[in-house]
Amino acid sequence: KNEVEQSPQNLTAQEGEFITINCSYSVGISALHWLQQHPGGGIVSLFMLSSGKKKHGRLIATINIQEKHSSLHITASHPRDSAVYICAVSFNAGGTSYGKLTFGQGTILTVHP
């Protein structure tokens, strides 16, 4: 079964702390996406990864294809980082794949000043 698991489900931090959100998936993928959703808001794509590591500002995303695991890190967290962070993958299906995404349950991040 194609599954995506995220942890933790809820995360509370003080401003300035280093934050890590984890994502594991069950079978081979074409790509993994990290998404951000503010309450009542739309979905913003933060990263798309198929290998290695990507960095954008205070956000860093890594992926280990062999271990089927990815992490999203936020350095020097700020209250405006408070949002739901969602991991999503496009699974390989019999050697072919397309952009259909399977999502984790999301991690609710709250950063206090």
Chain contacts with other proteins (rule: CB under 8 A): 29-31, 33, 35, 40-45, 48, 50, 86, 88, 90-92, 97-106
Q: Which of 107, 88, 62, 71 is nearest to 4 (CA)?
A: 88
In the complex with other proteins, which residue's Cβ is closer, 42 or 113?
42
Beta carbons of 86 and 108 less than 8 angstroms apart: no
User: Closest distance between other proteins and the C-beta of residue 84, in Å?
Assistant: 10
In the complex with other proteins, which residue's Cβ is closer, 48 or 60?
48
Beta carbons of 88 and 29 less than 8 angstroms apart: no
Distance, CA of 71 to CA of 59 (rounded, Å): 11
In the complex with other proteins, which residue's Cβ is closer, 17 or 101?
101
Q: Which residue has the tokens 């702390």?
A: 17
User: Closest distance between other proteins and the C-beta of residue 99, in Å?
Assistant: 5
Q: Which of 25, 30, 29, 26 is nearest to 71 (CA)?
A: 25
In the complex with other proteins, which residue's Cβ is closer, 46 or 60?
46
